[in-house]
Structure 1
Amino acid sequence: MLLLPSHSLGKQEASLRRLCMMSFLVVSLGLREAQGHEIFGSTAMDFLKGLPEVGRALKNTLQAALAPIFQPRGATAQSRAGTAGDGSHTYCYGELGCIAMSRDFYHPIHRPINLAPGKREDVRVTFTIKSKEDPVGVAVPWNDVRKAKESSFKPSRKTKVIIHGFMNGRDMPFMEDMSKAFLSNYDVNIIWIDWTDGSLVLYNRAVANSLLVSLEITHFLKWLRDNMGLNPADIHLIGHSLGSHIAGYVGEKIPGLGRITGLDPAEPFFQHLPSTVRLDPSDANFVDVIHTDSDSIFNIGQGFGLRQPVGHVDFYPNDGKRQPGCEAPLAVPFRRMSRKTSLKNVWNAVENMIGCNHKRAVELFTDSIKSQCPYMAFHCDSYEDYMSGKCLSCGVDGTGCALMGLHADTWRGAGTGKELVQLFTSAGTAPNFCRYHYQIVVELGDLPGTERDRLGKLYTTFIDGDGRKMTFDLTSKHPKQFTSRSHHSFFVENEENFGDVREVEVKWAMERRGSQSTQTSLSLQKLAIRNVDTYPLKESVSRQGRSESTFFFCEKYGAPVMIADQETVTLKASSSCFGSG
């Protein structure tokens, strides 16, 4: 998105600038959809006549946004060391050191423009240090890092560094939400990185400023190391969007940095470029990444995040795109207008929807800090295979699964040299983002009659010791073919975790096909359910394949039970089911 540069931003001005490009896209690309539809009880053209204020704001914003393109490339750098013969550029900033932009930073398609970073006094990075004893924190300006000595920083604690991205800044709530989650659950140092004045600008200028921001952060962390005893191994950089790549640049310059978490790293100007330009596994001892907006950038308001893996482990909740609860931005204004919603609320709604998928990575990570739900993810060839239940194993060495979010560093592959391991999981909407995942295995006995197969649907309802129920339609997509003595595996998810499951109700519904046989019953030998979120992480699995997270159900003594069409039977959990059949 194209946004104009800024030095001092109020919330209304910042909001307008975030909406600038979105407004242009909605008006230009959405006119065809609006034609012929009633909006506020009038036609689309009448609606457009009511947009003089938005039109003027759009004109002024675009005019200001385009102006920086024509500024001299080196005019904003404090000091320019020179231009090499190969076209690379170096920009130096005194005590911070230099930025070397090699030919890796140029690509005719993926990165055709490279502007010079801004001045330090224009970007004005601020570091706010927080802790349990001082949740408000002490703001440390870029030009007076010694002020950190007035903060509650303690080198004995782990340090979490939170870095926002493009179009974000001090008025965005996610930094506050994340720091509150940390301080409510852990004794850590929190360092906010505020580079608002460098991020609410034209996108390619924000990309350039991100290099300067990385120098500021590197300088500050090294100062904390040399003057206050900060151990680089205790540093955990958490960056969203452009902030992910900023974290990568910092990691390049601080040997032994502990961990980087990339939250939907920005795609434009970074995807398919060399590792020196973007976040990559070499930037820290451990790099984990959550992808939530990797759809095509041509889907307006979506596709801001990288698709390619760039960490030791890369997580793709819901295939890394189209998160539940996020609407297509272009559809929002016209739907709201048809409901006669006020113009102000329409634009507010669109602003909230722009980047909904992109910011979901932040919400998932923040939830993982405080949630008891494990956010288990599995290595798989595709999300479709994952949802089909084909990838519910951690593998022989345990590296085929990991916990997405804060606890990703418990992955068994950490420190083994493995990288670019892609893991899939599913997630829901707020407030219950995390899902508990189960595998249900059904074993059939001999089917009665001459026809040895049945086409139909199975439904299960599990009941725990507290009387809670969870119901699953095992054949929700389409009826399934069942044959004698066959085994069937189903993958399901639920908002709640079930502990001591006591019984299960099983319903069978025969699918009618032409001339129907009188034999419609299903012979159920036994049924098992296991929680795949906990099962693979436990090493208490016996040779027979059982664990405390697996429950077996059958008729008394393990005999098969006949389920008539449209009827329900109840089976009890019993150890006698194990090994039967």
Structure 2
Amino acid sequence: MPDGKGEPHLVDLHAPVERQNPTNPQVIVNGNANTIWNSNYNGNRQLKVIVHGWNSDGNSDLNPAITAAFLATVDANVIVVDWRSLANSLYTIAANGVPSVGQHLGNFLIWLINTGGGNWNNVHLVGFSLGAHVVGVAGRQAGGWPMRVTGKFYDTFLYNALNGNSGTYVECIHTDGGLLGINDPICNANFYPNGGNNPQPGCWISTCSHSRAHQLFASTVYTNHLVGRLCTNFNQATNNQCSGSTLNMGNGILGKQGNGLYGLSTGANWPY
């Protein structure tokens, strides 16, 4: 690659891009603008928000995995929501608290963008387990302005669930139907890897299929290699017999659009 003087230099186009504080988080406090100015938040970047589920916290496996995937592929602000105090309560208490957590997150995002800058067309909310419903409520609290919302694994307990009104494009990844999750097509685009049911390939315990959703998502952020085929009905989706038009599952592309039910097959091991 020639420099400004025309001198050639060997350049590794696949070298990892250095990001600011990729592993050491900075805390932004709702209502305290100084915590924005003293952080590396940049309103010109994309904003990725990750929310964990029940019995988890900001350090649980999905957070570093998805954060690393985003930071490896796009220049973005990544915010990890840690609601451990409530999430580690009895399941019923945690589930009943989801609407409040989601409302607070939605209000925080409105304040963050109004104060620190940003564009709702650059916002992507990602939630796992009960966190899927947290981002669903947050998106609606923010007027459905987030460009994209991705939810992975859905609990049957909630009345205030993730739905297509939570953002411009809302995507569900179903991996644990028939056990701890539901297969209801509650999003704009609904993906059913391997039929969407427990067990997923390579899984022998229920929590494996549960976690497979965020693992699949993280993998697709890196490689965008899992391609769904449009189904004509729910039965085709849950039996992985779909053969219609294609739509890639997951990934971090903000302008992604699609509707319907999609089936696909994955491998049993990373990158699936």
Asked if the contact 1:402/1:411 (under 8 Å) is kept, the reply is: no
Return the offset for 1:423.
0.5
Change (3 A) 1:153 1:238: same
Partner of 2:162 in structure 1? 279
Aligned-partner Cα distance in 1 for 2:40–2:243: 44
Structure 1 residue 132 corresponds to structure 2 residue 15: no
3-state SS of paired residue (2:115): helix
Corresponding residue to 1:292 among 175, 193, 217:
175
How many residues are matched? 249
Corresponding residue to 1:326 among 198, 203, 219:
203
3-state SS of paired residue (1:406): coil
- What amino acid is aligned across from residue 359 of structure 1 in structure 2? S
Change (3 A) 1:384 1:240: closer
- What amino acid is aligned across from residue 150 of structure 2 in structure 1? T
Partner of 1:217 in structure 2? 105
Corresponding residue to 2:229 among 363, 366, 378:
378
Aligned-partner Cα distance in 1 for 2:252–2:138: 22
Aligned-partner Cα distance in 1 for 2:47–2:61: 20
Change (3 A) 1:360 1:384: closer
Partner of 1:485 in structure 2? none
Return the offset for 1:151.
1.0
Corresponding residue to 1:305 among 153, 176, 181:
181
Corresponding residue to 1:164 among 40, 52, 64:
52
Aligned-partner Cα distance in 1 for 2:213–2:61: 14
Return the offset for 1:145.
6.1
Q: Which moved more, 1:307-316 or 1:163-172?
A: 163-172
Q: What's the Cα RMSD here?
A: 2.1
Corresponding residue to 1:261 among 144, 150, 167:
150
TM-score, structure 2 as length reference = 0.84
Return the offset for 1:371.
1.9
- What amino acid is aligned across from residue 148 of structure 2 in structure 1? R
Return the offset for 1:223.
1.4
Aligned-partner Cα distance in 2 for 1:241–1:292: 11
Aligned-partner Cα distance in 1 for 2:33–2:99: 19
- Please, which runs of 5 or more residues in structure 2 have no aligned partner? 1-17
Return the offset for 1:407.
5.2
Asked if the contact 2:53/2:131 (under 8 Å) is kept, the reply is: yes
Aligned-partner Cα distance in 1 for 2:262–2:29: 39
Partner of 2:267 in structure 1? 428
Asked if the contact 2:20/2:40 (under 8 Å) is kept, the reply is: yes
3-state SS of paired residue (1:161): strand
Partner of 2:210 in structure 1? 358
- Please, which runs of 5 or more residues in structure 1 have no aligned partner? 1-130, 296-302, 329-353, 395-400, 414-418, 434-581
3-state SS of paired residue (2:21): coil
Asked if the contact 1:232/1:254 (under 8 Å) is kept, the reply is: no
Change (3 A) 1:386 1:211: closer
Partner of 1:542 in structure 2? none
Aligned-partner Cα distance in 2 for 1:281–1:384: 20
Asked if the contact 1:163/1:192 (under 8 Å) is kept, the reply is: yes
Aligned-partner Cα distance in 2 for 1:423–1:210: 28
Return the offset for 1:144.
4.6
Aligned-partner Cα distance in 2 for 1:191–1:179: 9
Partner of 2:119 in structure 1? 231
Asked if the contact 2:195/2:240 (under 8 Å) is kept, the reply is: no
Aligned-partner Cα distance in 1 for 2:37–2:61: 27
Which structure carries more relative contact order (alpha carbon 8 Å, separation 6+)? 2
3-state SS of paired residue (1:210): helix
Aligned-partner Cα distance in 1 for 2:112–2:30: 13
Return the offset for 1:386.
4.1
| Residues 189-204 of structure 1 mapped to structure 2, 5 A cutoff | 189-204=77-92
Structure 1 residue 406 corresponds to structure 2 residue 245: no
Give the fraction of aligned pairs with identical amino acids, expressed as a percent: 28
From the CA coordinates, give the structure whose radius of gyration is larger: 1
Q: Which has the higher strand share?
A: 1
Return the offset for 1:142.
5.5
- What amino acid is aligned across from residue 161 of structure 2 in structure 1? R
Change (3 A) 1:385 1:213: closer
Aligned-partner Cα distance in 1 for 2:255–2:181: 25
Return the offset for 1:208.
2.1
Asked if the contact 2:174/2:191 (under 8 Å) is kept, the reply is: yes
Aligned-partner Cα distance in 1 for 2:129–2:62: 13
Asked if the contact 2:49/2:124 (under 8 Å) is kept, the reply is: yes
Asked if the contact 1:166/1:241 (under 8 Å) is kept, the reply is: yes
Change (3 A) 1:378 1:202: same
Partner of 2:43 in structure 1? 155
Asked if the contact 1:160/1:235 (under 8 Å) is kept, the reply is: yes
TM-score, structure 1 as length reference = 0.41
- What amino acid is aligned across from residue 402 of structure 1 in structure 2? L
Aligned-partner Cα distance in 2 for 1:157–1:279: 25
- What amino acid is aligned across from residue 97 of structure 2 in structure 1? N
- What amino acid is aligned across from residue 118 of structure 2 in structure 1? L
Asked if the contact 1:378/1:386 (under 8 Å) is kept, the reply is: no
Change (3 A) 1:432 1:229: closer
